[in-house]
Structure 1
Amino acid sequence: MGSAEGSGIGGKQFGVAWPDFNDGLTYTDNVQADSSISLIEFYSTNHNNSAPLQGWLQRIQNGQITVDGQVVKDPQTILRSGSQLVYHRLPWKEPDAPYLLQVLFEDDHLVAVNKPSGLQVLPGGLFQQRTVLTQLQWRVAADYGQPQPSPVHRLGRGTSGILLCAKTKLAKVCLASYFAHGTSIVGDKRTISLEVNATRKISKIYRALVTGIIKEHQVVIEQPIGMIRYPGVAHGLYVASSSGKPAMSRVNVLERNIQANQSLVQVEIQSGRPHQIRIHLSFIGHPLVGDPLYATGGRPVCFDSESGAEDCGQDGYDI
């Protein structure tokens, strides 16, 4: 790994080049059943969505599973109630991602970094090491004694922008409450119109390029956002849904490109729902340029309202 630190626009940059392979992962289980069960039965029954029977046999025989700290390669080993099982997932090469972060502001309480597009904030999916959190941890390790920053909000992998990271417990609690405040008051139109701008301590403003020409100078979108089951997304996909949670976005048009049939907009989100900007702009008929997932109406491109979401491939985006 190679490290880099130097001056960037508006502040210094830091980052360590990603190694070819990550460190793998470990997953811990505890046997709670009173009746006897074999090692292969436990994994093929409780984690059949992770791998088929043959896959778990191979992992056991490879020595990737320990029972109470001891490697066990016999899949027919009978487990005892209370035993601790650990599955060691082998290291893998994560998808390409940038690693340099630009420091915009830093004091004893927080650090604000400019997160580049393509870098995930927290571990998830294929990205377990190539994240903002890892770079922050490595930076602290190289400068022993400094408090370890922790991101207090998220920006999607494909989104660039300012990411606030707390360096103390007090800062984390305060910043988290500031972010939560704006979301909690969404839904009360009187409160929003009279008090938000005066009481809000953190504002979230983004710029985006959307398809089509937005005629109005400003559009306020208050479409709730909920979740549906969707192939390739383990915990479900967020979409425009009347039964979802309240969400509000203020959209101001900055430029209109008639020839390209595109509009450059500035979006201030009062709430912080996942995928909110993508969903809201597609909901009003102006999806983000290049968005492979959300179509007009704030639903997935391949979503069938009668039969559910069809399998049209992985999204590849987190914003």
Structure 2
Amino acid sequence: MSSSISTPETTADAPSFGEPWPDLNDGLLYTDVVSPRDSELTLIQFYSREYKNSAPLQGWLQRIQSGQITIDGTVVTQPDTVVRSGSQLVYRRLPWREPDAPYLLQILYEDDDLIALNKPSGLQVLPGGLFQQRTVLTQLQWRASNKVSFSKTQELQAAPVHRLGRGTSGILLCAKTKVAKTQLAAYFADGTSLIRDNSDTSTNTVTRRKITKIYRALVNGIIKQDKVIINQPIGTVQYPGVAKGLYVASPSGKPALSKVQVLEKDEQQNHTFVQVEIESGRPHQIRIHLSFIGHPLLGDPLYTAGGQPNCLDSEFLDETFAQDGGYQRPAKPVPGDCGYHLHAHKLIFQHPISNEVIKITAPLPRILQTQAEANQV
């Protein structure tokens, strides 16, 4: 492995790309082939059973009766129509206006194999829920379709190899070839090689992972210790509006490790600036771990002390439905809600092709700069 370190220069005027979002997206098509076990079900039975998390019964009735579903290419508006094994069902979700989201993406590093972006808070990485078009992935697709060449030997359109929460800003790594995608995904899942960052003599960082992720966060309260190691497991619980369950601190969950270093204590505002290095990548790990020790992220609408959500008093699901037949947006906070202050600040990793150690830094938002850092500007 090469011992050289590449540290890209990152400035506020680094190149950016992005196109404004259209008012409405293109809608979506969901295709199913009826299995033998579902043969003889009625159309409403099929959808209300297979996709009960998408819409309540009355919502699916509305979608069928409005002509949004076809069987083998023919529009069917009768809910009691019987489906047969092998038939193709297509549900057309009508175009809608997605919630507001930023669209410009700053390029922090780019070569023939990968591109590192500075993702703004409020922009989702991959399609999901109400955000099907207003995502990082869409902007990458539009960039490629506009014939902005990534590489003469490009095998794959650039795509993210990990996720950042919608409210989290900072470094997002994307692969531009199949080989890079496979390697980088493996780095995020688990790394075994040693990386020594000789350029940072203050810490002389050594890790057994092929990738090191360092975040900056602003938390409620004053953390007394200078350093805190959090190894609380993270699991899931049932939660309204989150089909696969909400991630929380749980003794029966999967192992998770976060290393927290206090950078500055603001006694007057009762806030603490921290740096967090995570050696695992559980969903919402930093938000959960810091709230677990009694210091949730400032402005986090979801997680409170103990690594639990603010509201977990009921499994009630609002059965009223929106204009498109789907569930109303949950009244309680959900993981995609923004407001907290978390930034993927530094990334150190072994290049998937050259083996060179790459070190990338994303500029800090003003609110996440310590007083000393702000005075240096």
Structure 1, unaligned stretches of length 5 or more? Answer: 1-6, 185-195
Report 1:120-269 matches (<5 A).
120-143=124-147, 146=150, 147=154, 148-182=157-191, 197-269=206-278
- Alpha-carbon spacing, 1:217–1:14, altered in 2? closer, same or farther (3 Å): same
Q: Secondary structure at the match of 1:16?
A: coil
Of 327, 337, 350 in structure 2, the residue corresponding to residue 317 of structure 1 is 337
Partners of 2:224 and 2:41 lie apart in 1 by: 65
**In 1, are the aligned partners of 2:301 and 2:333 still within 8 Å (CA)?**
no
Which residue of structure 1 lines up, in the alignment, with residue 113 of structure 2?
A: 109
Q: Secondary structure at the match of 1:154?
A: coil
Q: Which moved more, 1:211-220 or 1:65-74?
A: 65-74
Which residue of structure 1 lines up, in the alignment, with residue 77 of structure 2?
A: 73
1:314: Cα distance to partner?
Answer: 3.1
Q: Does 1:84 align with 2:88?
A: yes
1:45: Cα distance to partner?
Answer: 4.2
- Alpha-carbon spacing, 1:57–1:180, altered in 2? closer, same or farther (3 Å): closer
Q: Deviations over 1:118-160 (max 9, x none)?
A: 0000011111110000000000000166441010111110011
1:76: Cα distance to partner?
Answer: 4.0
Which residue of structure 2 lines up, in the alignment, with residue 27 of structure 1?
A: 30
Q: Secondary structure at the match of 2:268?
A: coil
Q: Which has the higher helix share?
A: 1
- Alpha-carbon spacing, 1:125–1:143, altered in 2? closer, same or farther (3 Å): same
- Alpha-carbon spacing, 1:63–1:298, altered in 2? closer, same or farther (3 Å): same
1:274: Cα distance to partner?
Answer: 0.5
Q: Secondary structure at the match of 2:64?
A: helix
- Alpha-carbon spacing, 1:245–1:54, altered in 2? closer, same or farther (3 Å): closer
Of 13, 16, 19 in structure 2, the residue corresponding to residue 13 of structure 1 is 16
Which residue of structure 2 lines up, in the alignment, with residue 50 of structure 1?
A: 54
Letter matched to residue 86 of structure 1:
V
- Alpha-carbon spacing, 1:9–1:41, altered in 2? closer, same or farther (3 Å): same
1:226: Cα distance to partner?
Answer: 0.7
**In 2, are the aligned partners of 1:24 and 1:92 still within 8 Å (CA)?**
yes
- Alpha-carbon spacing, 1:176–1:48, altered in 2? closer, same or farther (3 Å): closer
**In 1, are the aligned partners of 2:302 and 2:333 still within 8 Å (CA)?**
no
Q: Secondary structure at the match of 1:171?
A: helix
* Sequence identity percentage: 68
Which residue of structure 1 lines up, in the alignment, with residue 66 of structure 2?
A: 62
Partners of 1:217 and 1:309 lie apart in 2 by: 41
In the alignment of these two chains, the number of paired residues is: 301
1:181: Cα distance to partner?
Answer: 2.0
TM-score, with structure 2 as normaliser: 0.74
Q: Deviations over 1:245-286 (max 9, x none)?
A: 111111111110101111000101111110110111011111
Q: Deviations over 1:212-241 (max 9, x none)?
A: 111111111111111111111111111111
Q: Which moved more, 1:46-55 or 1:102-111?
A: 46-55
TM-score, with structure 1 as normaliser: 0.86
- Which fold has the larger relative contact order, with Cα–Cα distance below 8 Å and residues 6 or more apart in sequence? 2
**In 2, are the aligned partners of 1:229 and 1:309 still within 8 Å (CA)?**
no
Q: Deviations over 1:152-185 (max 9, x none)?
A: 111110011111100001111111121122599x
Structure 2, unaligned stretches of length 5 or more? Answer: 1-9, 194-204, 318-329, 343-377
Which residue of structure 1 lines up, in the alignment, with residue 309 of structure 2?
A: 300
Letter matched to residue 30 of structure 2:
Y
Which residue of structure 1 lines up, in the alignment, with residue 103 of structure 2?
A: 99
- Alpha-carbon spacing, 1:52–1:283, altered in 2? closer, same or farther (3 Å): closer
1:26: Cα distance to partner?
Answer: 1.3
Q: Give the alignment's Cα RMSD to 1 decimal.
A: 2.6
Of 268, 276, 285 in structure 2, the residue corresponding to residue 276 of structure 1 is 285
Letter matched to residue 247 of structure 2:
Y
Which residue of structure 2 lines up, in the alignment, with residue 189 of structure 1?
A: none
**In 2, are the aligned partners of 1:183 and 1:247 still within 8 Å (CA)?**
no
1:49: Cα distance to partner?
Answer: 4.2
